[in-house]
Amino acid sequence: TVRLWNTSDPSHPTLLGQPLTGHTANIRGVAITSDGRTLATAGADQTVRLWNTTDPTHPIPVDQPLTGHTDSVYSVAFTPDGRTLATADANGTVRLWDMDSDRSAQRICAATANTLTREKWEKYVSPELPYRPHCP
């Protein structure tokens, strides 16, 4: 389980919100974007989970876990601009994930033949970004 802490006073850290749950095995690594808005957790369950931490007292899971690794994920790291997430697992596989929602939306538009409904937008792009009813 991952817990977020307020460490603004290092001599008196305090817990923020509820534990982040969802992994079905031990968490092996964590990373946060430089702007503090997205947290990634890596698990022995071969998944990576993303959390919107804009409000650290109420972190929100972002979509479904990232899957594709075939062994425990031990390492996660964001690029300084937060646009790419690198993950590595126990068998030495490294994956790069595009975190740019606009580029992802363009790929989804292409894959859905420009039928990107509000529901698909919220599920596959982001419930927080404004819905663009027409694909670019």
Residue-range domain boundaries for the chain = 2-99, 100-136
pLDDT score of 124: 67
pLDDT at 133: 61
pLDDT in tens, 52-99: 999 999 998 987 888 889 999 999 999 999 989 999 999 999 999 888
Report whether 30 contacts 2 (CB < 8 A).
yes
Q: Which residues have a Cβ under 8 Å from the Cβ of 43 and sit 6 or more positions away?
A: 23, 24, 25, 26, 27, 28, 49, 72, 73
What pLDDT was estimated at residue 114?
Answer: 67
Task: Return the SS3 of 51.
Answer: strand
Give CA–CA dist 116/110, Å, rounded: 9
Q: Regarding predicted confidence, which is higher, 35 or 132?
A: 35
Average pLDDT over residues 4-19: 93
- 112 vs 58 pLDDT, higher one: 58
Listed residue (76, 71, 107) closest to 90, CA to CA: 71
What's the Rg (C-alpha) of the chain?
A: 16
